[in-house]
């Protein structure tokens, strides 16, 4: 359904902006933003700020500062279908109904089996006017949670592949002395991605050649991603930056059964987690 007015679209765009504040801090939950409006006045705003903490809808209701039922006649704009199950927190549908909100505009559906339209149905059964956006804003709302949506549908992670290459197809100088091919702007983008993902992974060849940190350093971030090294024979040096920093941020080294026990035990003693990959492609 196309949002009714430019005002609707503006408030949903604001909710999308708020949702982005949770990127990198709420996984495995989705990021969500919410705005409550009545008679053209913004009464409350909220976003899901940390995993296990209150959801965006609850934070927006609290920000509005109205007693139960005090939001009658108000519209809530929320980027994702409100949850209707109990997990770390109670159902957002219960909080919305209790608040008195009369209309809910949703940016995108919740693809999980626990929701999948159930939250919208509960709100409608309670007499709340529910609309689901389409068009550009709906697409933006879905894009907020690509990783969440992929994992909900398939059980697999959302993977970003980052590579730097010159126009003539080179990734380094012949001598190996080059440090960066990418620009300062592109490195800033890469660090922003690092701040938003659960893990950053490289092969042991990169770890040996570059001695990277694999952290998000350009931005002030609340937490660092897990560093992962695919290292079949456990060659990662104990004096590498990755190992010296472990276990904060955490480091996982994925080895094969060909790795020596002495090498893997030394990495574990240094703070790394060891995962032994098995199977035909180990």
* Residues with active-site annotation: 57
Q: Starting at the earlier edge strand, list the strands of the sheet with 129-132.
A: 41-47, 33-38, 75-78, 103-106, 129-132
For 248, the token pair is 């904060």
Radius of gyration of the chain (CA): 23
Nearest 5°: CA angle at 160, between 154 and 165?
150
Cα 235 to Cα 27: distance, rounded to the nearest angstrom: 31
| Nearest one of 120, 99, 125 to 110, comparing CA atoms | 120
Are 207 and 180 in contact, with CB atoms under 8 Å apart? no
For 126, the token pair is 């309670």
- Identify the three-state secondary structure at position 152: helix
For 250, the token pair is 């955490």
Cα 270 to Cα 23: distance, rounded to the nearest angstrom: 30
Burial class (CB in 10 A: 0-12, 13-18, 19+), 190: middle
Beta-carbon-side half-sphere exposure of residue 88 (alpha carbons within 13 Å): 11
């Amino acid at each position: 359904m196309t949002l009714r007015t430019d005002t609707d679209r503006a408030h949903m765009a604001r909710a999308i902006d708020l949702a982005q504040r949770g990127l990198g801090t709420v996984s495995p939950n989705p990021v969500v933003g919410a705005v409550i409006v009545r008679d053209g006045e913004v009464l409350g705003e909220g976003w899901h700020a940390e995993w296990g903490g209150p959801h965006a809808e609850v934070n927006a209701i609290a920000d509005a500062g109205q007693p139960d039922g005090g939001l009658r006649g108000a519209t809530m704009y929320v980027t994702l279908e409100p949850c209707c199950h109990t997990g770390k927190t109670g159902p957002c549908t219960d909080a919305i109904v209790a608040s008195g909100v009369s209309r809910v505009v949703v940016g995108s559906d919740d693809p999980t089996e626990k929701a999948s339209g159930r939250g919208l149905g509960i709100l409608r059964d309670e007499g709340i006017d529910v609309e689901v956006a389409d068009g550009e804003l709906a697409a933006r709302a879905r894009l907020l949670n690509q990783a969440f949506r992929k994992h909900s549908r398939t059980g697999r992670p959302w993977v970003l592949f980052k590579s730097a290459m010159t126009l003539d197809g080179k990734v380094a100088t012949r001598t190996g002395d080059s440090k960066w091919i990418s620009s300062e702007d592109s490195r800033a983008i890469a660090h922003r991605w690092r701040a938003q993902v659960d893990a950053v992974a490289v092969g042991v060849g990169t770890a040996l050649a570059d001695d990277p940190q694999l952290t998000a350093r350009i931005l002030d971030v609340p937490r660092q991603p897990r560093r992962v090294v695919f290292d079949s024979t456990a060659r990662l040096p104990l004096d590498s930056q990755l190992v010296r920093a472990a276990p904060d941020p955490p480091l996982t080294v994925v080895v094969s059964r060909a790795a020596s026990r002495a090498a893997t035990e030394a990495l574990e003693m240094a703070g790394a987690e060891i995962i032994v990959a098995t199977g035909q492609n180990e």
